Structure 1
Amino acid sequence: MLTLISGGTGGPKLLQGLIESISQDEISVIVNTGEDLKVSGLHVSPDLDTVVYTLAGIIDDEKWYGIKGDSFSGHEMLQKLGQDEILKIGDTDRAVKLYRTLRMENEATLSQVTEEICKGLGVRAKVKPMSDDRVETRIITEEGEMSFHEFWVVEGAEVNVTDVNFLMSDRASPAPGVIETLDESDSIVIGPSNPITSLGPILSIKGIRKALERNREKILAVSPVVGDSPVSGPTGVLMDGMGHEVSPLGVARIYKDFVGHFMLHEEDEKFSSEIEDIGLNVHLEDILMPDLPKRRELSRKILRVLDYQ
């Protein structure tokens, strides 16, 4: 079994390539839920939905959010009536979120509902939220404290970050099966996700970081930074605000205790020796994934490095 630890963009892009190389039945995905929120009364799990829609083959892979070809009549009517929504939710996507909300109001856990949604959409991979308990990512900035979506969607990450907190993580437990999945996997992959707000909430859950540390030698992470620039999203702003060097070396320093193999872009060889000095095995490849052929190619390279048959 291969397990992917995923946020909402870099992980799903890689996942799109992986499912063309190995069967979904061999794949588990542990997903960040630190960005979950309520929108118009709905329980929205952005990263979970992106992973599930990717596996179902219906993801809008231009935005990496929502369902391809979805309509937005509901969202537009709500706006007309004066109901603002921080996220633009499509009509079919809204139905999935409504189902989740109704089931959770009837005391189903997030794990149970995710399994039901996967079954309904024909997804065979095992998709697990990091926790069934609420964990909320809060971005501390010079403009004040805000949610991740206020920081990213409303402010466009154009504020100075001073800290990031994961509220209630000290009381949250790993979702059922998460620790067993990590321990029993033949290989674990961390996609080119934001190390602060995509991976950080997962690591904040008691027991998950320790499970990763004891499985370090079978873990490969793909750098979300090429040179001094993040591949996508607010990675650079967040790393800089948290005092980390915005480079593959800066990411490697964050990962060094729980990652055995680190894949850098082929043009970043200058970072190799310092990363190897802190104990990671370096692999140089073209890690950019602008399209499906490149995602498929990178997934095959990762499987070769991990000797995953």
Structure 2
Amino acid sequence: MILALAGGVGGAKLAAGLAAVLPPEELAIVVNTGDDFEHLGFAISPDIDTVTYTLAGIANPELGWGIAGESWAFMEQLGRMGGETWFRLGDRDLATHVERTRRLRGGESLTTVTAALASAHGIAHRIVPMADDPAPTIVDTDEGRLAFQDYFVRRQCAPRVKALQLAPDVGPSAAFSALIDDPALEAVVICPSNPWLSVDPILALRGVRSRLRARGVAIVAISPIIGGKAVKGPAAKIMAELGVPVSSAGVAAHYGDFIDGLVIDVTDREEAINGPQLLVTETLMRSPDDRARLASEVIGWVRQWN
């Protein structure tokens, strides 16, 4: 069984590639919930929804998040009434948040709700939230401490990042914990998600990093940096602000001895990267075929280590 750690658009793309080439019993996708929050009275789980919509084949192809062919009547009407419109909820997407909120208030766990919504979209593969309890990421910036979505969406990542405050006192969800201990676990694949905003919140959960390392299986990461730039999102900006080289070598240094291998793009084949074993291939995923090809290469690579 391959355990994928994911968050955001890049993570969702590789997760979809893995789901395209692995049967449901051989893949589990654990998703970051550090950017979850309550908005307009609804429980919002952006990364879970991005992964779900991407695996369901309904994600907006231009944005990578949200639903394709979305309409915005709700937001337009809300704006006319003076409501908050900085975090946009499409009409079809809104149904997800309404149903999630209803189920959570009825006593179901985020794990159970996530599985039910994935099933409703025809997804057979396991999508598991990293935690059932709130585990918010706080961004310490030159403008003060900001809730994640205030930084990411309301302020469009403009403030300079000084540090990230994660949730080390929160434990992983029971489902995630069971996956860590699963005897069938073959390897851990860290998708090309933002290492600081999407992956670190997962690894910061109580005991997760040490327990995964103790399993003795291969742990590999796919670099989200190609040619000194982030494919999408603020990873490069954050790296520069934190004094980390904007390169795959910088990503390798950040993960340190937690990872055994790093997948980098052919563009960066001449980079001096110390520590992990390297797989050099084309990592930019422009199409579903690209996702499946990269996933197949990564799976073949890690399975050679067993």
Shared fold per TM-score greater than 0.5: yes
The aligned residue for residue 178 of structure 1 is 176
Alignment pair present for 1:286 and 2:282? yes
SS in 2 for 1:249: helix
Q: Which moved more, 1:216-225 or 1:101-110?
A: 216-225
SS in 1 for 2:117: helix
Per-residue CA distance 1:39-88 (angstroms, 9 max, x = gap): 21100000011111222222223212111112221121111111113321
Alignment pair present for 1:105 and 2:105? yes
CA contact (8 A) 2:111 2:175 kept: no
Q: Distance in 1 between matches of 2:120 and 2:153?
A: 30
Q: Distance in 1 between matches of 2:216 and 2:85?
A: 41
CA contact (8 A) 1:219 1:260 kept: yes
CA contact (8 A) 2:15 2:29 kept: no
Q: In the alignment, residue 168 of structure 2 is paired with which amino acid?
A: D
Q: 1:25 to 1:69 in 2, by over 3 A?
A: farther
Percent of counterpart pairs with the same letter? 32
Structure 2 counterparts to residues 1-309 of structure 1, below 5 A: 1-166=1-166, 169-184=167-182, 185-215=185-215, 217-272=217-272, 274-275=273-274, 278=275, 280-307=276-303
Q: Which moved more, 1:243-252 or 1:29-38?
A: 243-252
CA contact (8 A) 1:179 1:211 kept: no
Per-residue CA distance 1:223-255 (angstroms, 9 max, x = gap): 011232222101012222333222111111121
CA contact (8 A) 1:111 1:129 kept: yes
Q: In the alignment, residue 175 of structure 1 is paired with which amino acid?
A: S
Deviation at 1:221, TM superposition (A): 0.8
Deviation at 1:19, TM superposition (A): 2.4
Q: Distance in 2 between matches of 1:90 and 1:175?
A: 29
CA contact (8 A) 2:186 2:217 kept: no
TM-score, with length taken from structure 1: 0.92
Deviation at 1:144, TM superposition (A): 2.0
SS in 1 for 2:83: coil
Q: In the alignment, residue 253 of structure 2 is paired with which amino acid?
A: R
Q: Which runs of 5+ in 2 are unaligned?
A: none
Q: Distance in 1 between matches of 2:221 and 2:81?
A: 46
Q: 1:298 to 1:67 in 2, by over 3 A?
A: same
CA contact (8 A) 2:19 2:125 kept: no
Q: In the alignment, residue 179 of structure 1 is paired with which amino acid?
A: S
Q: Distance in 2 between matches of 1:202 and 1:111?
A: 15
Q: Distance in 2 between matches of 1:11 and 1:235?
A: 13
Q: Distance in 2 between matches of 1:164 and 1:154?
A: 17
Q: Distance in 1 between matches of 2:303 and 2:13?
A: 21
Q: 1:298 to 1:170 in 2, by over 3 A?
A: closer
Question: Which aligned segments of 4 or more residues in structure 1 are displaced greater than 4 angstroms?
Answer: none
Q: In the alignment, residue 200 of structure 1 is paired with which amino acid?
A: D
Deviation at 1:305, TM superposition (A): 0.8
SS in 2 for 1:19: helix
Per-residue CA distance 1:86-125 (angstroms, 9 max, x = gap): 3211112111111111111122111121122122222111
The alignment of Structure 1 onto Structure 2 pairs a total of residues equal to: 303
User: What's the Cα RMSD here?
Assistant: 1.8
SS in 2 for 1:270: coil
CA contact (8 A) 1:219 1:261 kept: yes
Q: 1:216 to 1:244 in 2, by over 3 A?
A: farther
TM-score, with length taken from structure 2: 0.93
